[in-house]
Structure 1
Amino acid sequence: MRIQSVSELKSLERSVEQNTEQQRIDVIEILRTVKNEGDSALFAYTNQFDGVTLDALEVTKEEVDEALSSLDQEMVNIIREAAANIREYHEKQKKESWFFTREDGTLLGQKLTPLDSVGVYVPGGTAAYPSSVLMGVIPAVVAGVEEIVLVSPPGKDGKLPSAVLAAAHVAGVKRMFKIGGAQAIGALAYGTETVPKTDKIVGPGNIYVALAKREVFGVCDIDMIAGPSEIAVLADETANVKYIAADLLSQAEHDSRSAAFLVTTSNELAEQVSKEVEKQLASLPRKVIASQAIKDFGAIYVVGSLDEGAEVINKIAPEHLEIMTKDPMGLLGKIKHAGAIFLGEYSSEPVGDYFAGSNHVLPTSGTARFSSPLNVDDYMKKSSVIRYSEQAIKENGHKISAFARLEGLEAHARAIDVRLEEK
């Protein structure tokens, strides 16, 4: 890894915006076709893009039962335990409606209502991501969403991976479909003969999925536009070199555009981590991908103090931040921008990916400056509640109508005046 000056620090320019206009044109055409042709378009695109001819789009109960019986029971138990941890964490996020009454009898409040339906996209095709199932579905269940629909691209056998089906069963999903890519996003946004239209779409995917989510926003809601994964480690001289190198590579192996940063107060640690990364890369199965990520989007920055290090981290606004210092908790208050913060040498990033309970759907590409991890609030909407009293309209009506006339809205003013006249 390159050891660089902080002056060379650049923003994470790896967002969806950098992709070609042709990809966007292709996505718009796919969405248009799905909207107009429904299921027939989904069958055709699945054949074209996934190389699979399906007899049916929806996963059957028999397929779920087969998946559960084919998996090692210990692995099923691990999935169940992870799900329990995720549910416990997200239960803490749940909020309640609230109301208050003023002395004049006016009642004001906020009513919280879960969304009617949510579509959860799970990447697939060449790999299985049961963790993405749990992270997308469980907060929706906690929020009280009535209909949760899961979509994921099928493998060459025309089925979803057993681990994905098992995780969906554990999480409580009732309807699953074997479709992926932009066509799956279109199906969830517009609905087809088989796939129900949903109010919101969540979950990560490739560039076509990300662009499709952007295009359908407004027809339905989306969680975020996810870019390549990233990790930053803030460390002092007490940190474990092998741990840091392993954690940096845990994100670099995701994608050739993943980013991995070390920010440290120790020149010696910087040199050691640089060498250790190369050493660990040699035996990594996904060496080609990780090496490219480290080359293009990996860097080590040496700073004069941990306070300066925190400032650098806030400029990066990483998806994942690990703090490996003598007193990591003491630095927490200085961190303003990070999707997930891991404190101490045993809090490796994969702990959050799979088992701790926090959500691993996180803001990327510096968007942690203004956005948050996927959470229960994302599956709920808020309505304002107003019950104005007779006393309040008498006392404040003339102020309200004056304000309306200030804006040139006479009908607004008269709607108040007519009530004052009657009194």
Structure 2
Amino acid sequence: MSHLLTGVAPLGGAATDLLLVDGRIAAVGPDAASAAPEGTTVIDAQGLVALPGLVDLHTHLREPGREDAETVESGTRAAALGGYTSVHAMANTSPVADTAGVVEQVWRLGRDAGWVDVHPVGAVSVGLAGTQLAELGAMAGSAAQVRVFSDDGMCVHDPVLMRRALEYVKAFDGVIAQHSQEPRLTRGAQMHEGVVSAEVGLAGWPAVAEEAIIARDVLLAQHVGSRLHVLHLSTAGSVEIVRWAKARGIAVTAEATPHHLLLTDELARSYDPLYKVNPPLRTAEDVEALRAGLADGTIDTVGADHAPHSREDKDCEWAAAAFGMTGLETALGILSTTMVQTGRMSWADLARVMSTAPARIGRIDSGPYAQGRPLAVGEPANVTLVDPSARWTVDPSEQASRSRNTPYGGLDLTGRVVATFLRGRPTVLDGRAVEPSTAGAR
């Protein structure tokens, strides 16, 4: 299988040709056409930007256990449409992904679906209960080769357990991805604690509940010499703590979500549960701090935190509604609109935070199924094509996710995925999903 992309702009640079042959980038430049094998499919990519396939460190696929909200197949189809070639599936399934058997099940479901590479995230604690370490070594040594561990949805609040987890994963170069939320400071909380929460009468969620855990954990990571990844940081104070830790050489990385880069707690005035998320939407000042932190490299990645929920779990009063939003199909458009179109980031910067850095953090940037690699000869042909000038309106009814709990319905965005190639095989062409010709992404 071979494809010639003509007139494409790698990372937004000068237009050139890109040849994909047998899962690899075979040629880049004016000689690519002459090197194309007979029968090569030619794609006119004039005006399009080529990025390395996007990688997400923070996706909830819900299977096993909540297939009413999402399945591995539907969630990874949504990911491909969003420009992703790899996602990390969070462990808060039912049963929890806290054993080698469950993570291998998720990995095989992703392989059989064939839309993207699925890398299961293993739970830190048994049942996400925060009292006993899960089978970290067994999950690392399984067919899924787990390297990222998280109790996302729950905080590893016990400092002793957190220390043990950080020490344990050093043996196989793993990383603990922490959901930073001090539970005693957020009991019953519904939204960001501030002026808006006081005015609308919803229980407040203080910024310090996040910041206190991050501060503790970067010190623990320094103490044991291990790697920490901070999930979905949301406050200006959190950005400052990560910046402080990095300046001292602590092995910490951090992510922000598209919704925390765009939306604010003012939206809670509507009492629409679509805006209920964990951590909560914060203030405009926090949004600005996150954008600045992403632009200057303090924040390493953008994680979609795709959190699908059934209609029953979101179409209800605010207090009873589940936390979470979908995000795989809109993440690139939001980053393009908020950061690239405004001049705060280049397309090369976007590739760094949505592909290169998450692949490196997840330790999937090497080997035969490497992700996040440069668009260079010999590299795996994981490629995303984006129309940087395309303006489009988010329509929840058109999304591939099984759930519809997106907060962006009716929002106009600039920059849209046109095509996605997984090791040279198109999963999306002309903005439409292409059914895998054979089962198995690998």
Note whether the superposition's TM-score is higher than 0.5: no
TM-score by length of 1: 0.29
User: Computing the radius of gyration over CA atoms, which structure comes out larger, 1 or 2?
Assistant: 1
> Relative to total residues, which structure has the larger strand share, 1 or 2?
2
TM-score by length of 2: 0.28
> Relative to total residues, which structure has the larger helix share, 1 or 2?
1
